[in-house]
């Protein structure tokens, strides 16, 4: 997935590099360029000796100096590594109402969703580990595990599953969320932050433990919460399953550290209060409505892109602290990123040990754009 290029470790989405050393001969310390392309440098120390730097593969090795007692520049190498990529399940409502007409003439809600997901995945599949879980699994209320497990470069696999899918059945949201979280914990990396993105066009239902009593709020758009009316109702699975779904989402956020983003597609206007509560319980309350309303393809794409950017970290771990933290320079794509102790636009350390740095402002936005970037760093040392 990664390749060494120009002396810097290049990851899809821009995530790593090496802190290169630079030696100066007069005590001031000279720089090695951001790609560390030079293979040697020389200078004069206090005793007139020379120091030779030899480039080898992904780093520089330093000779100890002449035998006249002059000590050579012997800095340590540091590796820049971005926080582990986020793991995100797209939990997508595949119920029968997704076949209803969308906002775009001639397209269904499913087709609009398909197009938006396609564009988003093409942009961010290299930097986020996406997976897919569509629900229901059949044409009623059953659910299954994910159709595509989380991983990078999953655009083709996810779109292949969406292409084969045909909307049908109910909306077992709570069960689908439980299945997605179970997969994240079982198959995901322990170090990666985990999220769920729920996209639905209706209220949750399919809870066979509910009873079809007069207090039932029907999720099917009619006055009967009974699929075999006028016969006797035995189950309330077409009742709105709001309380149970909220409990599941809250448990994921609080006890399992898996926040849920909620996107309300066309058709969810009647469930605005429920979706707002779901977003609040999920820990990702966004905007005046709490959730992301997406009534057409453009709004859905914008919501997906906004969520993707928010889960890409601009924090970078150093292998160990540099000897001179003030002398470190960071470069992105060959251009120096300015130091900014105010943490507004540039980079700076985020802990007292100087083992973590973070990009801010324009630099962070660039790192989050889904493109490939080369991130390198240098530090100066002195010949003593």
Q: Does the N-terminal peptide bond of residue 74 adopt cis geometry, omega within 30 degrees of 0?
A: no
Q: State mean pLDDT over 121-148.
A: 94
Alpha helices (H) in the chain, listed in sequence order? 109-124, 155-164, 173-187, 242-255, 272-281, 297-311, 362-367
Of 135, 133, 138, 191, the closest CA to residue 317 belongs to 191
Summary mean pLDDT of the chain: 77
In this structure, which long-range contacts are made by residues 153-157, counting pairs with CB atoms below 8 Å and at least 24 apart in sequence? 153/1, 153/12, 153/125, 153/126, 154/121, 154/125, 154/129, 154/130, 155/118, 155/121, 155/122, 155/125, 157/132
Query: Residue 177 has which token pair?
Result: 């969320």
Q: State mean pLDDT over 273-281.
A: 94
360: which strand partners?
346
Please tell me the predicted confidence (pLDDT) of residue 374.
Answer: 81
Q: Is the dihedral of CA 93, 94, 95, 97 positive or negative?
A: positive
Residue ranges matching CATH 3.40.50.410 in the chain:
87-206+241-311
CB 380 within 8 A of CB 31: yes
Choose between 7 and 153: higher pLDDT.
153
Spatial separation of the C-alpha atoms in residues 264 and 126, rounded to whole Å: 26
Please tell me the predicted confidence (pLDDT) of residue 154.
Answer: 96
CB 374 within 8 A of CB 13: no
Spatial separation of the C-alpha atoms in residues 20 and 22, rounded to whole Å: 7
Choose between 71 and 291: higher pLDDT.
291
Look at residue 16 and tell me whether its pLDDT is greater than 60. Answer: no
Please tell me the predicted confidence (pLDDT) of residue 153.
Answer: 94
- pLDDT bin (cut points 50, 70, 90) of residue 80 is low
CB 95 within 8 A of CB 167: yes
Query: Residue 252 has which token pair?
Result: 């994921």
Q: State mean pLDDT over 330-358.
A: 92
CB 266 within 8 A of CB 275: no
CA distances for 314 relative to 153, 199, 296, 309, 362, angstroms:
20, 26, 31, 10, 11
Q: What is the DSSP string of 327-354?
A: G-EEEETTEEEPB-TTSSSEEEE-STTS
Q: State mean pLDDT over 199-221.
A: 75
Report the share of the chain in percent with pLDDT over 90: 50
pLDDT digits (tens, 9 = 90+) for 228-246: 444 455 566 778 889 999 9
Q: State mean pLDDT over 182-192.
A: 90
- pLDDT bin (cut points 50, 70, 90) of residue 191 is confident
Of 316, 312, 311, the closest CA to residue 357 belongs to 316
User: 84-104 burial string, b = 16+ CB within 10 Å, else e?
Assistant: bbbbbbbbbbbbbbbeeebbe
Length of the chain: 384
CB 142 within 8 A of CB 136: yes
Please tell me the predicted confidence (pLDDT) of residue 214.
Answer: 58
CATH of segment(s) 87-206+241-311: 3.40.50.410
Q: Specify the DSSP element, H or E, that contains 233.
A: none
The rounded radius of gyration (Å) of the Cα atoms in the chain is 27
């Amino acid at each position: 997935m990664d390749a060494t290029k120009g002396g810097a470790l290049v990851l899809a989405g821009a995530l790593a590099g090496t802190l290169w050393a630079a030696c100066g001969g007069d005590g001031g310390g000279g720089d090695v360029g951001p790609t560390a392309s030079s293979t040697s440098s020389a200078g004069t120390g206090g005793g007139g000796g020379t120091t030779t730097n030899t480039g080898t593969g992904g780093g520089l090795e330093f000779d100890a100096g002449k035998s006249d007692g002059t000590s050579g520049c012997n800095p340590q190498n540091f590796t820049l590594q971005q926080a582990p990529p986020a793991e995100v399940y797209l939990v997508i409502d595949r119920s029968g109402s997704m076949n209803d007409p969308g906002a775009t003439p001639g397209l269904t809600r499913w087709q609009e969703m398909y197009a938006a997901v396609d564009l988003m995945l093409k942009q961010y599949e290299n930097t986020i580990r996406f997976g897919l879980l569509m629900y229901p699994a059949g044409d009623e209320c059953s659910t299954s595990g994910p159709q595509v497990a989380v991983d990078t470069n999953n655009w083709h696999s996810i779109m292949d599953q969406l292409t084969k899918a045909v909307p049908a059945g109910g909306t077992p949201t709570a069960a689908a969320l439980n299945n997605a979280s179970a997969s994240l914990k079982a198959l995901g990396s322990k170090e990666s932050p985990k999220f769920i993105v729920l996209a639905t066009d209706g209220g949750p239902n399919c809870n066979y433990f509910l009873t079809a009593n007069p207090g039932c709020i029907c999720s099917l758009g009619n006055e009967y919460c009974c699929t075999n009316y006028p016969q006797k109702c035995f189950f309330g699975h077409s009742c709105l399953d709001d309380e149970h779904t909220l409990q599941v989402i809250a448990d994921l956020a609080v006890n399992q550290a898996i926040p849920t983003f909620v996107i309300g597609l066309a058709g969810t206007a009647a469930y605005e209060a429920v979706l707002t509560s779901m977003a609040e319980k999920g820990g990702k309350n966004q905007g005046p409505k709490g959730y992301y309303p997406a009534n057409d393809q453009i709004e859905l794409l914008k919501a997906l892109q906004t969520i993707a950017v928010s889960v890409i970290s601009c924090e970078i771990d150093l292998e160990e602290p540099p000897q001179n933290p003030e002398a470190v320079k960071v470069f992105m794509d060959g251009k120096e990123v300015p130091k900014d102790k105010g943490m507004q636009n540039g980079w700076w350390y985020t802990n007292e040990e100087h083992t973590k740095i973070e990009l801010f402002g324009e630099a962070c936005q660039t790192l989050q754009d889904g493109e490939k970037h080369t991130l390198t760093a240098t530090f100066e040392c002195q010949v003593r």
